[in-house]
Chain A
Amino acid sequence: MLPKSFILKLKKVLVLNISKDVNYIRYLIFFVLIPFTPFSQIISGKIENSLGEKVPLANIVVKDSLTAETIRDFVIAQDGQYSLLLKGNFRKIVIEVSANRYRKEVFPIENLDKKTSYVHHFVLQKDSVVELKEVIVTAKSPPFVIKEDTVKFNVAAYRDGSERKIEDVIKKLPGVEVNDKTGEITYKGKSIETVKLEGDDLFGLNYSIGTKNINVDMVEQVQAIENYSANPLLKGIEGGEKVALNLKLKKSKFDFSGNIDLGNGITEGSKSVFNSAFNILGISKKYKSFGTLSFNNVGVNNSPFDYFSSTPSVEQIKETDFLAKKIIPETIYASSLDEKRTNINKALFGSYNSVFKIGKHISVKSNLYYLHDNISSNQVFDNNNLISNQQILSSDRYDSRKVPQQYRSDFEIKSSFTERSLLEYKLTISRENLNTSTNILQNNSKKYQAILRTNDFDFKQSLLFTQRLSDKEAFQVLLTQSSNNIPQNYFLSPSLMDSLVYFVDNQQSNDKKDIVDLKSTLLGRIGKSKYTFSVGSNIEKSNFQSNLMNNDNADKLKNDFTYKKYSLNNKVSFEFNLGNFKVLPSYTLSYMQQELTNDFKNSSKNIVIFEPSFSLKYRFSSSSGILFRSNYIQKPFSEEYFFDRPIYVSNRMTIKNIPTLALQKTSLVGLIYLINNLYEQFRLNLGISYSKSEGNYLPNIFINENITQMEYFYSPKSNQNINFNFLIEKYFPILQSTVRLKSNYAIASYYNIVNNSDLRQNESHLLSSELFIKTAFDTKINFENIFTFGQTTSKSTNSQKNRNSSFNNSSKVIIKPNKQWFFITNVDYFLPNMNNTTESLFFWDTALRYSPKTKNIEFSLAGKNITNNKYFTQLSTSDFSINSFKTNLISRYFILNVTYSF
């Protein structure tokens, strides 16, 4: 306490020290303030230490009493001066002064006079208690760092429904690309693991059920998750930089919601077209579900499965090793044109997906699918084969009708006994029936009728146990069992084998594959590096039978073999993070035993396989980097190369092999350079890759006007591929437009034998380039133009080049007069062969949409293929042929669509 004599009472005068450079404005403010603070007291003074030196920084607080907790006012004193303007009406205060390394000083003032200003100087004493040691006080604190590896994209806030699906929004998110055919989504060049719904993985790899069917207006935000771990116990220790998306729903969409789309219209011959759907979403804390039922005949595929072009789904690509083979292919081929123009369908697709949480530890998921379609097409193939100075012309016209049907159910149960362990069981059962009947006109003279029946039974189950051993380590055991059986029956009338004796060929084929796989893995992290060590064993057994019978039902060309493969393997991989470098070395060491047994022969082969792989990433800056990849793979061939008697697969083709148990050894090297500079709105990708496959089954082809016989034989010769790709994109603020140039150039070198030639070395060159320009004017009208050029060149030793160039230009005009109305019209010009400008095509499509302001309803009117093109022709080349492929199109139609959301 300081003696009272230190107080100097003064009459209230202006003690504010207004410096010379003060301007008029500040003076004015001060002047204006006075009337509003009539009761303010000013306390000021010096703060010095016992040596008379100024204390540079001190805190001054005002309290009602010494023991009061509340601070009424404060000021930060600088340079040994303070001035406190009290903003209340105080009778009695205590002023406390504290500064670092000084003892706190307190000064009370009683009976404050509101008309008096006070001056009080403080002299602070050095703190005599000097703590030299570090003094640490800690709190029980939350987990160290949880960095949410999530980029969020907020989505349209539509309350009024539309036919627009969340896929349409996902497509345009920065860094995201969607494959229109397979529905596969990639983020920053990596295929995503799944699309979650409110944090739950409802769809697994068939996430396109969600993205193709969930309406935009149900979703508030799309989140891109980097360093994703499907298994929460592996978070932070799992390598591989996995990515996933999460759909965050609008709050109002909790509970039950959905939409009904009704679309009806007319097409040629007053036939009706329709495109309708019903979607329902049920969300609560313990339960999530999404159900969809859709029906259309306008070429829209709402399912993850593609029966039109038979493009494998994301799941089929990832699980290809578990699947048996369809040896006899479908007759419908997809063109390069959008399926919404060529897929003449009548598709019914239903799916119900749900996940329940039972208590804290158990969750149960089920996915049910049903699909039925009726796809028809008229296709004409004209082949001009130029072989050893001979021209062999052939043509086929196929009028096909394919009826696929699929039933499938997936089931999954997850149970976490403890916080550190998780047991997951998954089961998939599916059945697919495909019936394709085709009327064929071969070489404009010979008629055939063909029926192909394919059934596909698939069963797969797996049990995965995960134990988190410590913060830095986890252990997993995975047991998988699968069985896939594909019986096929192909009827061709009249007989191709001998049309004089038989009127029908009946080619049967049955591939059954069983796999049991056991793998245990230890994953961990040391500092910034991660490692995975796994050992596993795999048993694979394929039983293949095929038989050609005719109407006499006698066995003719029979194949019956069993292929078994046993392997023990060890895989080790590392992820080292060294400054701006990321180094990812790994290897797989396996011992493999193969056995091929048929009626006559039993061959086997044991081999030790070493497959190293090495990747290196270097970041130049936060927006650019380089990636180098290399690996060496040794793979045995599968059953499609193990049958040695011909199988009739179409009205002109038979296939057989000369089987061996050799391996294909592939070396792959790739280099990618990336710039993704959002600040400059600039993107550049440059990539080059080279692969060399040593040991291949090469085709020995015999072609005449009526028949093509393929015999695959093993040769140690190597096929090679080089691929260059290039992308540059820039937004030009001055043009308010984005310009993007994308190019791909691929060179393939491969071998074959054609019509008893020597072994031929061939080369094919494929170039495609796309120039994209789109405006982002603030006006009501915007434009988009895409120009695409493609060229294929094929060449064989001592033969002429076969070349074809094509181009396509697509222009759009987009008009948005206000938020309710939207209009788009686009014109597509196709020139499939630049040497023949008469075969060009114009497409014209247009759409008008109206969304009333407040209603949950939306209307749209669309006209497709208004120019009513009937056929689309495209050309391709091979090393011995130029092929033309003509397919019919969905006729001109107009459709009115109403969407109601609830």
Chain B
Amino acid sequence: MKTLLFVLLLLPNFSFCQNLNIEFAVKYKNSSYRNELIIGDSITLWKDMPSEESTNVLDKAFFVKNHFNKTIYLSDFIFNKTFYVKDSLNNMKWELTNGTKIVLNQKCNAAITHFRGRKYIVYYAVNLPYSNGPWKFGGLPGLILEVKSDDDLYQFVAVKIIKNYTTSFKPANITNYKFISWDDFVSKFIITVDNTVKMVRTNADSDSKGYVKIDAPEIIYPKAQEGTGIEY
């Protein structure tokens, strides 16, 4: 806990020096985004790279991996409400496989994981000795440069690596946020989806039915996220 506090208090003035910055092309279903992964000694940041057109300024989204206490501090949301969630770092069980691939001139090996309801195949570079990767991915003996879900809905592909990247980072003061555990987030998610579905049901004409389906990489509430979704 002391280490955590120490790192978090340091954050407002935190500067990275000579670290690694990787830009990822991210595909979430039919949308595509750019994100950057900035790896430092004590923490890692996973950040949206807002496009010029982006007008979404309200979302003070953040995603910080704390290497010391093996925790991810992130903002997640249920519909319009933002939550600050603590999740375990490198919470994935890996199965090494034979495939190899060159990504950005780096020789990569393949590995497979099943993470929160989805199967992913990833490629990691042993020559980049960071046990890290995009989003929540990590825990392999090398930096993960490519991730694809086997249903092809989600993917992260490194498109740019900057070695010896120097930047300073001024995040919102993380100590101001109240973090809830992943398990609490999951139970809030389920209750909210159930209530919202019921509200939609009361808006409905009585003699027709429909389904609400929530798309997210993590399957938290299978009933609302798999197949046709949840009936209303």
Contact = CB atoms under 8 A, between A and B. Distances in A.
Contacts of B129: 58-59, 98-100, 104
A776 B202 contact: yes
Interface residues of A, number: 84
Nearest to A74: B141
Interface in A118-137: 131-137
Given A134-B162, A146-B32, A733-B195, A156 B67 contact: no
Given A156-B210, A678-B80, A774-B202, A73 B160 contact: no
Interface stretch (B97-105, B113-121, B172-180): B97-105
A168 B208 CA distance: 7
Given A76-B141, A154-B212, A679-B192, A139 B164 contact: no
Interface stretch (A108-116, A603-611, A617-625): A617-625
A668 interface: no
A168 B131 CA distance: 52
Interface residues of B, number: 74
B32 A156 contact: no
B207 A528 contact: no
B163 A849 contact: no
Interface in B103-148: 103-105, 107, 109, 126-127, 129-131, 139-142
Interface string B221-232: 000000011000
Contacts of A189: none
B24 to A, nearest CB: 10
B162 A156 contact: no
Contact of A731 (B105, B162, B199): B199
B141 A153 contact: no
Nearest to B145: A139
B75 to A, nearest CB: 12
Contact of B164 (A133, A156, A677, A737): A133
Interface string A137-158: 1110111111110101111110
B158 interface: yes
Contacts of A57: 67, 131
Given A579-B57, A679-B192, A135 B199 contact: no
A146 B31 contact: yes
B29 A69 contact: no
A599 B158 CA distance: 78
A74 B124 CA distance: 12
A812 B202 CA distance: 12
Interface string B75-86: 000111110000
A527 B52 contact: yes
B51 interface: yes
Contacts of B151: none
B201 interface: yes
Given A71-B126, A145-B32, A814 B141 contact: no
B210 A153 contact: yes
A236 interface: yes
B96 A154 contact: no
A72 interface: yes
A870 to B, nearest CB: 27
B30 A171 contact: no
A257 B30 CA distance: 27
Contact of A138 (B51, B82, B159): B159
Interface in A54-88: 57-61, 69-76
A582 interface: yes
Contact of A70 (B32, B82, B98, B201): B98
A71 B79 contact: no
B190 interface: no
Contacts of A157: 211, 228
Interface of B: 18, 23, 25, 29-34, 41, 51-55, 57-59, 67, 78-82, 90, 96, 98, 100, 103-105, 107, 109, 126-127, 129-131, 139-142, 157-166, 192, 195-196, 198-213, 215, 228-229
Given A139-B157, A145-B33, A679-B79, 6 more contacts: A98-B142, A134-B164, A145-B53, A154-B228, A168-B208, A731-B199
15 contacts: A58-B129, A59-B131, A70-B100, A76-B131, A98-B129, A131-B163, A131-B164, A134-B163, A134-B165, A135-B164, A174-B200, A679-B81, A681-B195, A774-B203, A824-B207
Interface of A: 57-61, 69-76, 96, 98-100, 104, 131-139, 141-148, 150, 152-157, 164, 168-169, 171-174, 216, 236, 525, 527-528, 577, 579-580, 582, 619, 621-623, 676-681, 731, 733, 736-738, 774-776, 782, 784, 812, 814, 822, 824, 847, 849
